[in-house]
Structures are given as C-alpha cells and as structure tokens.
Chains A and B, each alone.
Chain A
Amino acid sequence: MSLGYLAGRFGALLVVVWLAVSINFVLPRLTPGDPIEERFAQMAQSSGGQGDVTAMIQEYRAKFGLDQPLWKQYLNYWGSLFRLDLGYSLQHFPERVSDRIVSALPWTIGLLATSMLIGFVLGTLLGSFMAWPSSPRALTFFVPVFMLLSAIPYYLLGIVLVFFLAIVWKILPPAGGYSFSGVLGFDLATITDLLSHATLPALAIVLGGIGSWALGMRGMMISVLGEDYITMASAKGLRQRTIFLRYGLRTCMLPQFTHLALALGHIVSGAILVEVIFSYPGIGLKLIEAIRAKDYTVIQGIVLMLTVSLSVAMFAIDLVYPLIDPRIAYRRK
C-alpha cells in the first residue's frame, strides 16, 4: 500500500489520541472543586471532623502534582501516560488505576470478542440468505423482526432477557461472571459455570447486533444480485453455490467490514452497558462502581483507555483494508 495512505491513517490516529487525552485532561479541571479536598471532606464526614488539614492537603497536592501550573501538569500527564501510569484509584487507594482496569479486561474482551464475532457472522450469513432468491420464503419473516431488534439498545434487551430466562424460567444465572460458591480452577465445572454466566450477556449483545448486520448485508446482496456479472455467471453455467459464495458474498464483505469498523465504538459502548445490567465483572462494572463512588481517576482512566484502544483498533482495520480491496490504498482521499 502507498506510504501516503499509511501516513494519512496514522495522522488521523494521532489526532484522535491527542484530542482524547486533552479532553480527558481538561474536563475534570474545568469543574469547580478539588478531588483531594472532596476526599478529605468525605473522610471528615464519616469520622466526625479532623481539625486542621490544610497541611495534609498541600502535601497531597504536591504529591499528585496539582499545585503546578496547568501546562506543566499537562506535560506531566503525557509523561505518565507514556509510562502507562494512569494514577491511583481515589476510592481504592493505593491500588493503581491500571491494575483495576487490567483485572477486569479479560472478562470484557472475552465477552465482547465472542459475541461480536458470533453476531457478525450469524447476521451476515442470515442477511445474505434473506437476499438470495432461492431461499425459503419463511426467511422474509425475519426482516421486520430484525428491524425491530436493531432499534432496541443491547442493555434493554439484556433486561428483558434476564427477566425471562433467569427470573421467570430459571434456566440461566441472572448476574455475575461466576457463582459465589465454588473455587475457580482449570476444570470442566468452572468452565461450564463461566459459560453459563456469560451466555445471557453474550445473547444480549448478539441479538442486539444481529439485526443491523443482517439487514445491511441483505440490502447489499440485493443490489449486487442485480449486477450484470451475476447474470453472466449463471449464464456461464456456474453452480448456484459458487455464485452465492464467490460473486455475491465476497463482494459484499468489504462494505460489511466498513460498517463493522464504524460500528465498533457503538458495539463497545453497548457491551459496557450490558455488563452493568448483568454485573458482569468487566470494564463496565468497574466504570459504574467508579461513577457511584466518584472515583474520578478510574473513570478517566477507563474512558481514555477505551478511546485509545478503539482508535488503535480502527487504525489496524484501516491497515487491513488494502489487503482486502487493493483499490482503496491508491484512491485519493
């Protein structure tokens, strides 16, 4: 691929990261109030007064670097980010923010990766079948169903699923990542336990996303099937299956990937909120805990980490594009 394309995409990544970090830095400092003073006020409230704490506040301010001029704090912020130091959690001091995030990350990645993959593959396949003329008529029933499903956010679907599958008919566990009793080990019991707890959140994400994938794929397949080369292919005598796979499906995969890249942020946000509904021990749960406890450093750390990783993921997808469709790298933006 051309260097210009690479440079352009990398430049976009840098701009987004810079914007995200700057917003993350500026926003908390715009609001009146000082987290350290607030912390002390909270402690005073629960322990009935502390006397003169100004010296302690100064000490902590110096320690956290909050007494230096703003531009210096900004540079310090960038410096610490390069060292992957996101600061200390205000609520669970002295636990570091990065440690809190890292402990929750495997759960989120596991849930997100599997459910996104399943939803994308199922949705794309279903959508392409719905567009194929020789499919069973019954598939057209799914079109309005999918339209309805795609309009509902994942977490609301999650609530409905919890109610029906975990409360009314007690098939699956309603919350958590693993049962409270029992020891976690590398055995079948643990794995089934983990899987059964992950099923409902995954189902919410899959059902929430499948509608838009299927409908998008269906729309594209319908327009592709009207093309002349499809008529030519069947006139040549190619098998239906070959035409479907190599002429129809392959052509539509690229726009589907584009939609995937664009929807990545939306899917991740939806998954975070699903974790909140299910108390699934991922990033989402850590986020809402931090919000409830007013743990600003953790909130900022999570928001920043998510934004940066999403931008990096989109950059990686942008790099993969020219491999799928060589025209893209040579097209002037």
Chain B
Amino acid sequence: MVSATRSARLDLGFVRTFPALTAGLAIILLIAVFALAGPLLVDARGARVGAFRPSTPPAADHALGTDTQGRDVLVALTLATPQTIRIALIAGVIGLGIGTILGLLAGYFGGATDTVIRTLSDTLITIPGILVLVLVAANLRTISVELMGVIVACLAWMYPTRAIRSQTLTLRERAYIQVARLNGVGGLELVLREVLPNLFPYIAASFVGAVSGAVLATIGLEVLGLGPQNSITLGMMIYWGQFYGAVLRGMWWWWGPPLVLIVMIFVGLLLTSVGMDSLIDARLRRSA
C-alpha cells in the first residue's frame, strides 16, 4: 500500500520537474502512434488519384474532405505522416552518426584532425542548407524517400559535430580518462568504452536537434516541390495544395491538416529538446 502511493508520487514528481519534456514526449508519442497505426486502419486506395469526387469539403463520409484530384485527405494524411517521419529519422540518424564520429575524432585526437574537421563544419554551417539542398534536389531526376533523407543528412551533421566535439574536449581532461590512458588503454578502445557512454545525454539532445532541423529542411524542400515524387509526404501535400490553388480557393481541409501535423511535430521536438536541456543541466530544472 505504502509503495503504491510512493511510486504514484514519484511519477507526478517527474512530470512536475520536467514539464516541458513530458509534454514534448507526449506529443511525439501521439504522432508516432498515429504514424504507425494509421496506415493499418485506413484503405490505401482512398489516396489514389480519382478515388472519389474531387474538391468536396469535410462531410460524414470523408472526415477531411477530398482534394482536387479526388483523393481522400484523411487517408492521404495517414499515409503521408509516416513518410515524413521516415525522412526525418533517416536524416537525423545519419547526420547524428556522422556528427558523433567526427566530433569524437576532433575532440579527442585534437591537432590537425581537429583543425580540419572544425574548419569544415564551421564554414559549412554558414552556408544556408536549403540552398545547397535546392541545388542537389533540382539536379536529380526522381527522389525517393530514402534518398531525400540522405540528402538532408548531408547538411545536418554540423551541429552535432560541434556539440559532441566540445563535450569530448571537456571529458578528455577528466580523471578517469587519464587513469585509463595510464593503464595503457589504446586510443580507439578508450574512446569507445570510456568517452562514448558518457556522451549519451548529449548525443540524445543532439539527435532531437538533428531531427528537428531535418524536418525543417525537408518541409522547406517540399514546399518548393523538390520532395519525393512517388510517395505522399506532408510537405508535398501542402505543395500540391498550393500548386492547385487550394489556399486561394479556401480549401482549408487540404493544406490545414498537414500543416497542423507539421506544427505538432515541431512543437513536440522543441519541447523535448528544451526538456532535455533541463535533464542534462540540473540547474535548469524546476524544483519539485
């Protein structure tokens, strides 16, 4: 009896200490459930061109209406969300992977490696990513979802590199690293077994940031029409909506729902990253 109330109080304590983190994770969980379970519950044929009567506003049989090509917007939305999330995750994971490796190498080994990596990442950060992405995407004929993720990842690795590098620089001077080095533990093994595990909170925070940046870049590219041609994604729904004048014709049910979902993704990621900052830096927490 006593332990039940104590664990209940512990849970509330978590929510009160990390309000932003809980809210952010809740939103992301909601979107994840929608993305994973949604496609299993709807009939994918409803998202094909000419499936239903075009341009009908939301009604009983089409909860979000249809677009100018006769696609059911709700079905399209359910199929588009997991695609957008896939692009963001691919880009985030690849960008984080590259960033972690480069940041570790630069921070731990220093010297010439550090100078090269640092100059590269600092100069590439100043080039607005979307411009290079436009260049790359415009030159490719067809872009698949996976290719889009790889393209976006190429410009997502700079921030994680910087963050991991500065953390590695700090960790390198810690006592247990010095001791391990004196014990004769080699460079690579040292990095993998001693430094890397202590970087996990920063890697997690960088991951959220990388995914957030990836979604931003993806939606930006898609609004210009440079997204995947053969799959529906949230950004492309908005692009086609704009292309067919949905905004000017007041067809809010076409571009509205993808927009709301994108905003939810952004807000969820923002809250999670703010919450992670308070998780890492205990001074930023609210006293429970």
**B223 lies within 8 A of A163 (CB):** no
Shortest beta-carbon distance, B157 to chain A, in Å? 15
Interface residues of B in 112-143 (CB under 8 A from A): 119, 122-124, 126-132, 134-136, 138-141
Report chain B residues within 8 Å CB of A167: 247-248, 250
**A12 lies within 8 A of B123 (CB):** yes
Shortest beta-carbon distance, A14 to chain B, in Å? 10
Task: Please report the number of residue pairs spanning A and B whose Cβ atoms sit closer than 8 angstroms.
Answer: 116
Q: A153 with B132: in contact, given A28-B139, A287-B224, A310-B126 (CB under 8 Å)?
A: no
Report chain B residues within 8 Å CB of A306: 128, 131
Report chain B residues within 8 Å CB of A303: 131-132, 134-135
In the bound assembly, the distance between CA atoms of A152 and B264 in angstroms comes to 9
Shortest beta-carbon distance, A36 to chain B, in Å? 15
Q: Which one, A65-73, A127-135, A229-237, A294-302, is touching chain B?
A: A294-302
In the bound assembly, the distance between CA atoms of A294 and B263 in angstroms comes to 31
Bitwise interface map of A from 283 to 297 toward B, beta carbon under 8 Å scored 1, else 0:
000011001101010
A-B contact pairs, 13 of them (CB 8 A): A12-B123, A16-B123, A147-B274, A151-B263, A156-B238, A163-B250, A167-B248, A168-B250, A266-B128, A269-B128, A299-B135, A311-B126, A311-B127
Residue of A nearest to B131 (CB): A303
**A269 lies within 8 A of B248 (CB):** no
Bitwise interface map of B from 87 to 123 toward A, beta carbon under 8 Å scored 1, else 0:
0000000000000000000000000000000010011
**B128 lies within 8 A of A268 (CB):** yes
In the bound assembly, the distance between CA atoms of A156 and B260 in angstroms comes to 10
Residue of A nearest to B216 (CB): A153
**A273 lies within 8 A of B223 (CB):** yes
**A153 lies within 8 A of B242 (CB):** no
Q: A291 with B123: in contact, given A31-B140, A151-B263, A151-B267 (CB under 8 Å)?
A: no
Shortest beta-carbon distance, B273 to chain A, in Å? 10
Interface residues of A in 118-161 (CB under 8 A from B): 147-148, 150-153, 155-156, 159-160
Shortest beta-carbon distance, A263 to chain B, in Å? 10
In the bound assembly, the distance between CA atoms of A156 and B218 in angstroms comes to 13
**B138 lies within 8 A of A296 (CB):** yes
In the bound assembly, the distance between CA atoms of A62 and B123 in angstroms comes to 35
Bitwise interface map of A from 10 to 43 toward B, beta carbon under 8 Å scored 1, else 0:
0010011001100110011011010000000000
**A299 lies within 8 A of B247 (CB):** no
In the bound assembly, the distance between CA atoms of A294 and B226 in angstroms comes to 11
Report chain A residues within 8 Å CB of B242: 159, 277
Shortest beta-carbon distance, B60 to chain A, in Å? 24
**A288 lies within 8 A of B126 (CB):** no
Whether B82 is near chain A, meaning CB under 8 Å from some CB there, is no
**A273 lies within 8 A of B248 (CB):** no
Report chain B residues within 8 Å CB of A310: 126-128
Shortest beta-carbon distance, B165 to chain A, in Å? 15
Q: A151-B269, A269-B128 are in contact. List 9 more A-B contacts (CB 8 A).
A: A19-B123, A153-B216, A153-B266, A156-B259, A159-B259, A162-B247, A174-B247, A269-B129, A277-B242
Report chain B residues within 8 Å CB of A277: 223, 242, 247
Shortest beta-carbon distance, A23 to chain B, in Å? 6
Interface size on B, residues (CB 8 A): 40
Report chain A residues within 8 Å CB of B220: 153, 155, 269, 273
Whether A216 is near chain B, meaning CB under 8 Å from some CB there, is no
Whether B225 is near chain A, meaning CB under 8 Å from some CB there, is yes
B128, B131, B262: which has the most chain A beta carbons within 10 Å? B131
**A288 lies within 8 A of B224 (CB):** yes
B interface residues with partner A (beta carbon < 8 Å): 119, 122-124, 126-132, 134-136, 138-141, 216, 219-220, 223-226, 238, 242, 247-248, 250, 252, 255, 259, 262-263, 266-267, 269-270, 274
In the bound assembly, the distance between CA atoms of A12 and B121 in angstroms comes to 12
**A291 lies within 8 A of B131 (CB):** no
**B266 lies within 8 A of A152 (CB):** yes
Report chain A residues within 8 Å CB of B238: 156, 159
Shortest beta-carbon distance, A156 to chain B, in Å? 6
Whether A206 is near chain B, meaning CB under 8 Å from some CB there, is no
In the bound assembly, the distance between CA atoms of A287 and B139 in angstroms comes to 14
Q: A27 with B124: in contact, given A156-B259, A303-B131 (CB under 8 Å)?
A: no
**A152 lies within 8 A of B263 (CB):** yes
Q: A15 with B135: in contact, given A159-B259, A310-B128 (CB under 8 Å)?
A: no
Q: A307 with B267: in contact, given A153-B219, A296-B139, A299-B138 (CB under 8 Å)?
A: no
Shortest beta-carbon distance, A269 to chain B, in Å? 4
In the bound assembly, the distance between CA atoms of A296 and B134 in angstroms comes to 11
Contact with A288, one of B127, B131, B225, B255 (Cβ below 8 angstroms): B225
Contact with B127, one of A20, A147, A159 (Cβ below 8 angstroms): A20
**A300 lies within 8 A of B123 (CB):** no
Residue of A nearest to B127 (CB): A307
Q: A23 with B135: in contact, given A148-B267, A159-B247 (CB under 8 Å)?
A: yes
Whether A175 is near chain B, meaning CB under 8 Å from some CB there, is yes
In the bound assembly, the distance between CA atoms of A105 and B140 in angstroms comes to 27
